[in-house]
Amino acid sequence: MFAVVVALVVFGAMAFVGSTPPAADYTQGHQPGQPVNVTLQTVGSIGYGVHPDWVSYLAEAPGGQWVHTTLLKLPAHSKINVTILQYDSGSPLRNAFFGQVQGTSGGDEFINGKPTRLVNSNAGNGVAHTFSVPALDINVPLLGVDPSASNFCSTPAPCGSAEHYTVQFSFVTPGPGDYRFQCFIPCGLGYLYGNGGPMSTIGYMGGFLEVTA
């Protein structure tokens, strides 16, 4: 019985490792003191894989190819310039707190170049997602796109010239460690306590900043 239990544990661990997406590595060739540029996109449905209808992040690897991953390897004590291409529609937030920008350099995010500190999700097309790193007190609301737009992204990701917002912000990484990030609201709508499905799944809307020395 003990051998069976050990075998099941090993099998489960191997299955988990095998299902973990590759990390987008931004540490290769990084020179100390230089900023790191990270580009992500959020899409309403990934269009393929085990959960083709789930909302998802994608990361542009340093080589320029889009990767379906939310594991981002970053250098410690470095300025990270983030650009998020936001293609998904939005809705009102359950808690207006998540409409506030927090933890970014200067306290701002830039939506299509315009500095913003608060997104009112009860106006316009609401908030589509948040980029939130609780351990670093970072929260960036991503403005929702009009779902009735003639060129709304409806093809398998990555999306290209479809209707979207360009959201930019910066922050400085702390010391080495794994820092979880996720979309808090409304990605988990329909799941127990709002924390399930794509919101809590690596590779979709949950991920880690893998900060290394």
For the CA atoms of 156, 158, 162, 164, the dihedral, rounded to the nearest 10 degrees, stands at: 120
Q: Facing residues of 110 across strands?
A: 115, 168
Per-residue pLDDT of the chain in tens (213 residues, 90 and over written 9): 444 334 333 333 333 333 588 999 999 999 999 999 999 999 999 999 999 999 999 999 999 999 999 999 999 999 999 999 999 999 888 888 999 999 999 999 999 999 999 999 999 999 999 999 999 999 999 999 999 999 999 889 999 999 999 999 999 999 999 999 998 776 666 676 667 789 889 999 999 999 999
Nearest of 123, 112, 129 to residue 184 by alpha carbon: 129
Q: Is 8 domain-assigned?
A: no
Q: Please classify residue 96 by burial: count the beta carbons closer than 10 Å to its beta carbon, then call 0-12 exposed, 13-18 middle and 19+ buried.
A: middle
Q: Is 32 domain-assigned?
A: yes
Q: Which domain holds residue 81?
A: 23-212
Cβ neighbours of residue 97 under 8 Å, at least 6 residues apart? Answer: none
Q: Is 81 domain-assigned?
A: yes
Say which CATH number the domain at 122 has. 2.60.40.420
Q: Is 48 domain-assigned?
A: yes
Q: Is 18 domain-assigned?
A: no
Is the distance from CB of 157 to CB of 172 less than 8 angstroms? no
Q: Is 56 domain-assigned?
A: yes
Q: Is 116 domain-assigned?
A: yes
Q: Is 208 domain-assigned?
A: yes
Q: What is the SS3 string spanning 84-104?
A: EEECCECECCCCHHHHECECC
Tokens representing 200?
A: 């809590």
- The number of domains in the chain is 1
Instruction: Give the dihedral sign, CA 181/186/188/193.
Output: positive
pTM for this predicted structure: 0.88
Is the distance from CB of 208 to CB of 201 less than 8 angstroms? no
